[in-house]
Structure 1
Amino acid sequence: MPQITWEDPFCAEGNNCFRLGTDTSGNAYIAVVGQEDRPITDSLEALRTLILDIKAGKADHLL
């Protein structure tokens, strides 16, 4: 697994906490806190859009 630099966890009220990360190649990752060894990876833009939608309350039920 590549070396991933994780950001601080984001925790919504009553939901799982998750983290975003990037590797040295610019790939983006998202993982539930405590399960960083099993991240989902996609383009940075795709994950950024997902997180912004979650924070805006558009997709809170996905996590």
Structure 2
Amino acid sequence: MTDIEWEAPFCGEGNNCFRIGTDADGNAYIAVAGQEDTYLTDTREALSALIQDIKAGKADHLL
């Protein structure tokens, strides 16, 4: 089992809260807060790009 270090939840206004995590191998994870056992994983760079696009308003409906 992978040990994932989860960051504090990020909550959009009136929406679900998400958490980002990383492991010792440099993989990144994203999950709905409270459901960290069900997550998506990719490289840290890919998830960072996703988050930057969301924050830039390109996909704000996801949060």
TM-score, with length taken from structure 1 = 0.90
Percent identity over the alignment? 73
Query: Hey, what's the Cα distance between the residues in 2 that align with 1:36 and 1:47?
Result: 16
Number of the residue aligned with 2:40: 40
User: Which runs of at least 4 in structure 1 moved beyond 4 Å after TM superposition?
Assistant: none
Match of 1:6, as an amino acid? W
Secondary structure at the residue paired with 2:34? coil
Q: CA RMSD of the aligned region, Å?
A: 1.1
**Residue-pair matches, total:** 63
Number of the residue aligned with 2:24: 24
Unaligned runs of at least 5 residues, structure 1: none
TM-score, with length taken from structure 2 = 0.90
State the structure with bigger RCO (CA 8 A, min sep 6), 1 or 2: 2
